[in-house]
Amino acid sequence: MKPPMLMTPGPTEVSEDVLTAMSRSMVNPDLDPVFFEFYRGVTRKIARLVGTEHEVVVLGGEGILGLEAACASLIEPGDRVLCFANGVFGYGFADFVKLYGGQVVFCYGDERHPFDPDEVLTLLQRDPGFKLATLVHCETPTGLLNPVPLLAPLLRERGILTMVDAVSSIGGIPVAADAWGVDILLGGSQKCLSAPPGLAFLSISPEAWAAIHRRKQPVAGYYCNLSHWADWYERKWFPYTLPVSDLFGLDAALDRVLADADVYERHRRVGQAVRRAITAGGLELFPKSGWSDTVTAFLPPSGLKESEIRREILERHRILLAGSLGTLTDPVIRIGHMGENCWVDKVSGALEALDATLRRFGVQPAAPLVDTFTAALD
Ligand SMILES: *Cc1c(COP(=O)(O)O)cnc(C)c1O
């Protein structure tokens, strides 16, 4: 049986040309001179996409590897690290900080609201003594977008290095690592870029490299040690054999996104129309403000479980929606409308299935979801 349509916030649907690129003949990534140039080309495409002139590396492993590698390489035991936490990934970042000996100071936020830059400024005026800060751009489990363009400069002005998890925004929402003053911007292959899971990538500012090179203690680990990547091109040497086929796929996926002049506008248009459909239908969005245009989280109608709604949509309509990641106060349903999922016909299909399922469970949406969605596509 054909697998269900993935309307989840990662992995997302993968296009035919990405799948075809992945089936190309094998090369030896450690010995083939052409491969070094190819890999460098991939990093330059990512650099263009995330707005950096600095170095980008692509690591063989899922998005989480990038987060852990950044923490392992930048944090030394005892370093004070400010961890912005208003969602699952924000708290998770702090776990990596602790794992590598960092002294975590939380900047707590509300899981239903983005951080307020004025409040953050007040906090930093009181206590600016941090080596680095961790932030999450799009909190995928809630569909909340934090104002990184406003927060990162406040940190940079105080000499605090920033590590930003933009795994579920890169390619769907404009990001500008250098203009925002982000030192490490982290992404993954399987979200808005719509390549299969398996690759993490990150931009590294000169200040972040300096902090890595200045370490007194060696990095505890090999696979997560970014210093190995400092001169890979000059040495024509990779720390490990790279997943060639995954890189072929990512390269093709990057070509698609970079050639698509409408990509951000489409995410904006679809994102706001999904939210309009959900609220007009009488359902409650999880975030109260700061909605991401890549994923929408909403509460199931009272009396219904998110798991039974999702199971019905999967079994009857062969569409996979996502639930929560467990730690939220309320269980939510999530529609991922990022990357290759962010097309009107796919999102309409998901909303149609949701609408029909709610009716089957005896809940009449206050307005038909698909009609509202279509009408709201400005
Ligand atoms: C998906 C995602 C990651 C990576 O998580 P994986 O479990 O490796 O897919 C990291 N951060 C955010 C915000 C994500 O959405």
Ligand 1 contact, 144 CB (< 6 A): no
How far apart are alpha carbons 317 and 354 in whole angstroms?
9
Q: How far apart are the first and last CA of the chain?
A: 37
Token pair belonging to 174 = 């404009």
Give the position of tokens 């509300």. 110
Residues sharing a CB contact under 8 Å with residue 136, sequence separation 6 or more, in sequence order? 84, 87, 89, 90, 93, 146, 164, 165
| CA dist list (Å): 85 to 105, 128, 171 | 10, 17, 23
8, 95, 165: residue to mutate for ligand 1 pocket, most atoms within 8 A of CB: 165
Ligand 1 contact, 76 CB (< 6 A): no
Using CB atoms within 10 A of its CB, is residue 125 exposed (0-12), middle (13-18) or buried (19+)? exposed
* CA 141 to ligand 1: nearest atom: 15
Ligand 1: centre distance to CA 63 (Å): 5
Ligand 1 contact, 8 CB (< 6 A): no
84, 136, 140: residue to mutate for ligand 1 pocket, most atoms within 8 A of CB: 140
pLDDT tens, the chain, 378 aa long: 789 999 999 999 999 999 999 999 999 999 999 999 999 999 999 999 999 999 999 999 999 999 999 999 999 999 999 999 999 999 999 999 999 999 999 999 999 999 999 999 999 999 999 999 999 999 999 999 999 999 999 999 999 999 999 999 999 999 999 999 999 999 999 999 999 999 999 999 999 999 999 999 999 999 999 999 999 999 999 999 999 999 999 999 999 999 999 999 999 999 999 999 999 999 999 999 999 999 999 999 999 999 999 999 999 999 999 998 766 656 999 999 999 999 999 999 999 999 999 999 999 999 999 999 999 997
167, 175, 296: residue to mutate for ligand 1 pocket, most atoms within 8 A of CB: 167
| CA dist list (Å): 74 to 80, 129, 163, 254, 351 | 12, 16, 10, 28, 43
The pTM of the full predicted model, rounded to 2 decimals, is 0.98
Using CB atoms within 10 A of its CB, is residue 86 exposed (0-12), middle (13-18) or buried (19+)? buried
Ligand 1 contact, 93 CB (< 6 A): no
How far apart are alpha carbons 87 and 143 in whole angstroms?
10
